Amino acid sequence: MMNYLPGPGETDTGGPTPPAIRAEALTVLRGSRSVLRGLGFTVPRGQITGLLGPSGCGKSTLMRAIVGTQAKVTGTLEVLGRPAGHPALRTRIGYVTQAASVYDDLTVRQNLDYFAAILDPGRAAADRRRADVTRAIADVDLASHADALAGNLSGGQRNRVSLAVALLGAPELLVLDEPTVGLDPVLRRDLWNLFHRIAADRGATLLVSSHVMDEAERCHRLLLMREGEILADDSPEALRTRTGSETVEAAFLHLVDEAVAAGHTKETAR
Ligand SMILES: Nc1ncnc2c1ncn2[C@@H]1O[C@H](COP(=O)(O)OP(=O)(O)OP(=O)(O)O)[C@@H](O)[C@H]1O
């Protein structure tokens, strides 16, 4: 079951702009296991939403469902007003997986030229492509390495090339799967500053996963996950206040304890 709503620029329903993402009773099977179970949440436009939770809780699976590459998805999942995976969404979403997707035998600029040519083909678009590539390289602060072979870059620099590829075409929604993993504190800070610039300057929506709880404090909103379910969908401040916690990490642990206690109560009542 996938609902359909017209996107911007299409036959208008006259209603308000839909959220960047809306899920209702969203379930995903991997093999025969239910790895996402009845999720319901919305992701607002123009903000950074953090998707946080321990390893294996289903963050990557949820991101794959959102970008339309995950099989066995049931329930409602709308992205920018369209059902997830709709062909019209391809150029409106940028997706960065955990493994950097770059060609080692091409330079940074050649990598971007290649992906730009797929996104925006044809001779007539050559000037636009060149400008787009130069902007994306500058956005991720790699102008000084534009002519370096990707294979000679550090892990953090390669991650930034992947991010630059996702920024081509100025997508409305960026889905970034653990983009800061393995980066040193300075690079992590710089990348988060870049995410905020992208949201503020372009009004883009960012969904960023992490299992490092201190990154939660950098997000406008949080989706906290555990074992295939959403534990909380709120701002960091509201979460801390609601749970009487000093940090989002403490709030998360508080919510886990609550969920475990509720589970025990249910078991005992049976
Ligand atoms: N190809 C697969 N086939 C079957 N089950 C899978 C497959 N890939 C992942 N899973 C299972 O789905 C669940 C969710 O995995 P997922 O990769 O979405 O978690 P995650 O929160 O992104 O983890 P991490 O932070 O370690 O990347 C896990 O229990 C995992 O074992």
Domain boundaries, given as residue ranges, for the chain: 46-68+88-254
Nearest CA to ligand 1 atom 7: 30
- Kindly give the pairing relationship between strand 82-83 and strand 93-96: unpaired
pLDDT on residue 107: 98
- Answer whether 30 contacts ligand 1 (Cβ < 6 A): yes
- Answer whether 228 contacts ligand 1 (Cβ < 6 A): no
Ligand 1 atom at shortest distance from the alpha carbon of 98: 27
Share of the chain above pLDDT 90, in %: 71
pLDDT on residue 136: 93
- Answer whether 52 contacts ligand 1 (Cβ < 6 A): no
Low-confidence ranges of the chain (pLDDT < 70): 1-15, 264-270
- Of 29, 57, 212, which is best to mutate to test ligand 1, by the most ligand atoms within 8 angstroms of its C-beta? 57
What distance in Å separates the CA atoms of residue 46 and residue 207, rounded to the nearest whole number? 10
pLDDT single digits (tens) 110-169: 999 999 999 889 999 999 999 999 999 998 889 999 999 999 998 888 988 999 999 998
- Of 52, 59, 69, 180, which is best to mutate to test ligand 1, by the most ligand atoms within 8 angstroms of its C-beta? 59
Nearest CA to ligand 1 atom 12: 35
Complex ipTM over 0.90: yes
The model carries a pTM of 0.89
Class of domain 46-68+88-254 as given by CATH: alpha beta
pLDDT on residue 240: 95
